[in-house]
Amino acid sequence: MTADLFDLPQARPAPQTSTQPVPLAEGAVLFPGLALPDAPALIRAIHDLARIVPFRRMETPGGRQMSVAMTACGESGWCSDRNGYRYTTHSPVTGAPWPPLPDAFVAISRRATAAAGFPKPPLQSCLINCYEPGARLSLHQDRDENAPHMPIVSLSLGVAATFLWGGLRRSDPVRRLRLAHGDVVVWGGPSRFVFHGIAPLSRSSHPETGENRFNITFRQIAPEE
């Protein structure tokens, strides 16, 4: 894969249909447009979930407010506050268990995982991120889960973003990839702990989400189901 494919976020036009998978590293692949047919149902499900547990901008352990607003569903949901990052079985906001995964979520997690060649889909937890213009997620590893053999499945909906895809060390070079509406990235195996993030979201608009970008990530958080 040549570097210039990745260096220019605008180099790849937003696909109207799915196109060929783009390998990112061993165990990591981008599926342009894989979730496009499911996008309206996924977005409806996000709005339904947000009525049960509203999006909120959580505090980091260092006391800063995240620019990305989050909610969750599944057996467990990811939370951050002054005490650290963790998964909880109940929403700290409602005190109730997190809502179950909507059927449309389960279906796309299964499809993407199979397409990437992993034997089982991660379905225990789903984090939903809402980015407004300027919101970002700095370079990090997903390592609050206790199931290193299971991949992360990540879907992008709405306004396109620049995905930062690094290496296993924070200091490794970082590629910039455009993630458009309906794109899916799966990373696992030797890429499970690759550093990644999202550059500040540009102000733009999408017919299905307005100025927002939604991201859904599926994770397995315990060694066995």
Question: Smallest distance, Å, CB 133 to ligand AKG?
Answer: 14
Nearer to ligand AKG, 2 or 122 (CB): 122
Cα angle 93, 96, 98; round to 5:
85
Asked if 184 touches ligand AKG (CB under 6 A), the answer is no
Among 59, 69, 37, 77, CA closest to 215:
69
If the CB atoms of residues 44 and 140 are measured against Fe ion, the closer one turns out to be: 140
Name the DSSP letter for residue 70: E
Verify binding: residue 142, Fe ion, rule CB under 5 A.
yes
CA distance 119 to 122: 10
Output phi, psi for 22, to 5 deg.
Answer: -115, 110
In the complex, least distance from residue 155 CB atom to ligand AKG, rounded to whole angstroms: 8
Q: Which residues make beta-bridge pairs with 213?
A: 131, 158
Which ranges constitute the DSSP H helices of 94-205? 103-116
**Segment interacting with Fe ion, rule: CB under 5 A, options 60-68, 73-81, 90-98, 136-144:** 136-144
In whole angstroms, the minimum distance from the beta carbon of 105 to ligand AKG comes to 15
Give the one entry of ligand AKG, Fe ion, none that residue 127 binds, where binding means its C-beta sits below a cut-off of 5 to 8 angstroms depending on kind: ligand AKG
Shortest distance in whole angstroms from residue 56 CB to ligand AKG: 15
Number of chain residues interacting with ligand AKG (CB under 6 A):
12
Contact call for residue 144 and Fe ion (CB under 5 A): no
Which token pair is 11? 């180099």
215: left (phi over 0), alpha (psi -120 to 50) or beta: beta
Could you say which of 79, 108, 137, 159 contacts ligand AKG (CB under 6 A)?
137
Report the partner that residue 186 touches, choosing among ligand AKG, Fe ion, none (CB closer than 5 to 8 A by kind): none
Nearest CA to 125 out of 50, 223, 225, 217 is that of 217
Long-range contacts of 203-208 (CB under 8 A, 24+ apart): 203/133, 203/134, 204/133, 204/159, 204/160, 205/159, 206/158, 206/159, 206/181, 208/39, 208/40, 208/43, 208/157, 208/158, 208/181
Binding test (CB under 6 A) with ligand AKG, winner from 142, 144, 208, 211? 142
Q: How far is the CB of 2 from ligand AKG (least distance, A)?
A: 23
Q: How far is the CB of 162 from ligand AKG (least distance, A)?
A: 10
The residues that touch ligand AKG, with contacts defined as CB under 6 A, are 127, 129, 137, 142, 154, 156, 163, 179, 196, 198, 215, 217
